[in-house]
Amino acid sequence: MGGGKVKARLGRGFRDLLPEQMLARQWMIDVIRRVYEGYGFVPLDTPAVEYLDVLTGSSGDETEHSIFEVANPEMHKEERKLGLRFDLTVPLARVMAQYADLPRPFRRYQVCSVWRTDKPGPGRFREFTQFDLDTVGSKSELADTEIIAGMCDTLDGLKVGGYRVRYSSRRVLNLLIPFAGIPEEQSPEVFRVLDKLDKIGVKKVRLELTTGYKDESGDPIKGLGLSSDQVGKIERFLDVRADERGEVLVRLREMLCGVASAEEEIDTLDRISRHLQTLGYGDDRVVVDLSIARGMAYYTGPVFEAILLDAPEFGTVFGGGRYDELVMRFLGQRIPATGASIGVDRLLAALVHLGRVPLHSSTAKVLVTTMDSSLNDEYLGLAYELRRANIPTELFLGSGGVGKQMKYADRQGIPVAVLLGEDEKNKGVVTLKSLEEGRARSGELAERKDWIQERPGQIEVPRSDLVSAVKAMLFDTGETS
Amino acid sequence: MGGGKVKARLGRGFRDLLPEQMLARQWMIDVIRRVYEGYGFVPLDTPAVEYLDVLTGSSGDETEHSIFEVANPEMHKEERKLGLRFDLTVPLARVMAQYADLPRPFRRYQVCSVWRTDKPGPGRFREFTQFDLDTVGSKSELADTEIIAGMCDTLDGLKVGGYRVRYSSRRVLNLLIPFAGIPEEQSPEVFRVLDKLDKIGVKKVRLELTTGYKDESGDPIKGLGLSSDQVGKIERFLDVRADERGEVLVRLREMLCGVASAEEEIDTLDRISRHLQTLGYGDDRVVVDLSIARGMAYYTGPVFEAILLDAPEFGTVFGGGRYDELVMRFLGQRIPATGASIGVDRLLAALVHLGRVPLHSSTAKVLVTTMDSSLNDEYLGLAYELRRANIPTELFLGSGGVGKQMKYADRQGIPVAVLLGEDEKNKGVVTLKSLEEGRARSGELAERKDWIQERPGQIEVPRSDLVSAVKAMLFDTGETS
């Protein structure tokens, strides 16, 4: 440890989660876990470190996926390079390929960090947490329905207020190409441009689909040369809307009645809609919205995403869809799968912004103060008695007088303090202090001598009544849980 | 994704945790979390990736700590190299140095992966989980007492059966050197040899302290040249034992009565013993044992570790001690700290070995079977009704008949299945099947026709009685939680 001081600092794009944030995050993750365990999803854990070719596929380019490379201590054995996972879906695909005797369907959730080398920015980190849930090995739209229903249950469980889950289908969206009379080979570039809708807006998308334009810096953005008739059809397609899911699907069916293979996929969207209706997930919560794209390359069927109505600026907090090709990379065969991913950090930021998540920097409800080291056994005894009654209790372990200890409790948001000195001990009593009430009353009592006489929020109780008196005080301060 | 198949595999020393293991681990971590949150410890999270100099100290050598290096995308800016953390204590020290306004004392727990490049072996992985808890900023032995008490509460909470927490003090152990009349400058090498006691045994340690010996391969191991009188004193020192903690300390005090500074530290061990006694942690659970070393270089005061009496072969499952120098690296000043670390994987392996951890591969208590897709809305409705009654329920989403679905439930350990066909629907009933009872009875019923007539463990109930009938069946199969 010699050699002078090291500056305590973090790498760019990394951050710590201090207790207040961590307690909020744990609360959130526990709620989500309970929802999905209720659906029969089971937890999985995979290592952060995987072989690069597993992460990228055999023809993969790690820069494409922004992968952090990790030095491999086995490299002298001609092993492949290692890297940090950039998502939780690729490791799931590897697991499905590697363990032949996993049950099918396999429904797992995984809540873990992922790493990307992308340039960090406000709210964008190089290490962040995802909560993923997937059903692998089911072709049934019941699986998609349960993903959507679970999204609703999660957002209800987190008490986010209003939200909207939007769903559509990648396969329906693909029909846009023949519908607009666009040659099939132009399809990838058309979708690449459409995927920018949220980012650059409809006007620039229209220009990029047709004649092109110059961006702010004056650089020319090439157009795809579509006709205005073709663009009109695209806009008509994406803009099919109605107050009810069923009505959207009816209109879509009318519009696409000439197009082969439309019926089957619209039937799927219809069945999902009806199933959701049966379970009480109505049009107020779940809508069909053809304009959602959800990463063009990846999905092969229904896609879904959720936004918070009271905090739409946080964007999609929950999104996913059906994908059937991911295990291909390992097994050379298709396995149907559908799932969704929660951006844990983004959703938590939105909940904090909305004031919907309890923020505490302590788990303790009681601070047992320590002012006379000859009474340490007494203090420990008080703390243990409270803990055994399931009241989270902190024993003050620092140095400093009562004032400092009260300040500590106050700052930590600990609502009740227990005080015991030689006098109290001899009288067989303890003093309880409600920090909430003390704070409220000390505003009212202007005179210092009033304050001393009244000692707001402070009571003396028999030592034997400790637990019941603390419980009553916690109840009064609203700390009933 | 083109370019042929990739072999699904893991790097050497890495592993997956499949659902059965993960559910057990989550149960264990939740128990530990509850214990320490009850003590007022709060969670902290730090990134997996840190600067190498933060991890190793300014004169640090990353190979010494077996650190995985991570490529830094900012290297062109002459930033330092990055690496994966190898423990949770160094990041805690960084956090204490970096956030001046954290409360003091700061009591945090952190449960996270750490990575080491060490050669993997049976039960030794390159990525593993630690559960660390530390109190930073308290000199009081109350802090050490609470660490030990928390260790007991944790092991009780996990129902490990018998265990023993052993404690001692690094400062007392240091007194061994003057006691045995060994020159101070020989102290590091003496402790280096003593630290091997568990690994190589007392006989080889004695030889290495004196004349040296030849190991199995015939290589000479140099001796330190201590006299047999000195070694005798070392053995006498380490072997101070008694049935009661108090008695050990009395004998130690007698033995060291001539040695300066012994009194103060023995007083500390004595106060810890008395505090523990007051709280009911008796000599059956917590002993004073001078032979525990706990990594010689690191600790500066009381040290503690726990072993399981029914599975001593798993070694120390929980260990820690007081350390005051770690924040030095960053701040250039001492901050008193004490803490412990749980080897999550090792403790879990021991619990599984002892059969003390419930092993399930599913969270669901009920499987709603799906055999007629025209009844999908019904099936969803059954599942949702059960979930809303807080009964974890899985809807079968695969393909295949009743037989396959029953096999799935059985394999997943789901105790109850719900069956509904057109007939039942028209009659307004559902069929419930207890997989436990079915399995038990099908052994008794030799004849296939008996089995069909009796349908063991299978009952028909009115559709409206679904929830209560399922609850009753779960109660009968012992699934009351």
The CATH number that domain B19-48+85-173+261-353 falls under is 3.30.930.10
Tokens representing A315? 């964007």
The CATH code of domain A19-353 reads 3.30.930.10
Distance of alpha carbon A302 from alpha carbon A269, whole angstroms: 7
Q: pLDDT above 70 covers what percent of chain B?
A: 92
Per-residue CA distances from B461 to B369, B391, B414, B468 (Å): 16, 18, 20, 10
pLDDT in tens, B204-260: 999 999 999 998 888 899 999 999 999 999 888 888 888 899 999 999 998 888 777
Q: Are B224 and B208 in contact (CB under 8 A)?
A: yes
Q: How many whole angstroms separate alpha carbon B231 and alpha carbon B205?
A: 10
d(CA A141, CA A117): 36
Which residues in chain B are contacts of A408 at CB distance < 8 A? 103
Question: Phi and psi at residue A341, in whole multiples of 5°?
Answer: -135, 135
User: Taking the model in full, what pTM does it have?
Assistant: 0.89
Question: Coil, helix or strand for A283?
Answer: coil
Q: Quick check: A295 pLDDT over 80?
A: no
* Percent helix / strand / coil, chain A, rounded to 5: 45, 20, 40
Taking an 8 Å cut-off on Cβ atoms, the answer to whether B18 and A47 are in contact is no
Cα torsion A458, B104, A422, A456 to 10°: value is -10
Q: Which residues of B touch A104 (CB under 8 A)?
A: 398
CATH class of segment(s) A366-476: alpha beta
Measure CB to CB from residue A146 to each of B6, B74, B395 and give the nearest one: B395
- Give the per-residue pLDDT at B438: 62
> How far apart are the C-alpha atoms of A27 and A84, rounded to whole Å?
27
Q: Which residues of A270-298 are buried (b: 16+ CB within 10 A; e: fewer)?
A: bbbbbbbbebebebebbbbbbbbbbebee
Q: Could you tell me which chain A residue has the CA closest to the CA of B389?
A: A38
Q: pLDDT, tens digit, for every residue of B351-394?
A: 999 998 878 889 999 999 999 999 999 999 999 999 999 999 99
DSSP string for A176-193 = HHHHTT--GGGHHHHHHH
CA separation for the pair A24, A351 (Å, rounded): 9
Side-chain half-sphere exposure of B443, counting CA atoms within 13 A: 5
Cβ–Cβ under 8 Å, residues A366 and B132: no
Domains of chain A: which residue ranges?
A: 19-353, 366-476
**Which element (helix H / strand E) includes A432?**
strand A429-434
Which one of A23, A42, A405 makes the best mutation probe of the B interface by having the most chain B beta carbons within 10 Å?
A42
Residue of A nearest to B46 (CA): A16
pLDDT at position B1, please? 42
Give me the interface pTM, i.e. the ipTM. Answer: 0.89
Please identify every stretch of chain B with a pLDDT value under 50, giving residue numbers as ranges: 1-2, 451, 481
CB contact under 8 A, B50 and A14: yes
DSSP state, A1? -
Q: What angle do CA B65, B68, B74 make, to 5 degrees?
A: 120
Compare CB distances from B103 to A43, A54, A412 and report the shortest one's residue.
A412
Residue A165 CB contacts under 8 Å (≥ 6 apart), including other chains? A148, A151, A152, A155, A285, A286, A287, A304, A305, A306, A318
Distance CA A453, CA A161 (A): 46
Residues in Cβ contact with A403 at an 8 Å cutoff, skipping those fewer than 6 apart? none
- Closest Cβ–Cβ partner in B45, B381, B394 for A17: B45
Min Cα distance A120 → chain B (Å) is: 11
Mutation for testing the A interface, residue in B45, B114, B414 having most A CBs under 10 Å = B45
Q: What is the pLDDT of residues B422-457, one digit of tens each?
A: 999 999 999 999 987 666 655 555 555 554 555 678
Q: How far apart are CA A29 and CA B409, in angstroms?
A: 27
Q: Is A53 in Cβ contact with B387 (below 8 Å)? A: no
Q: Do A279 and B381 touch (CB under 8 A)?
A: yes
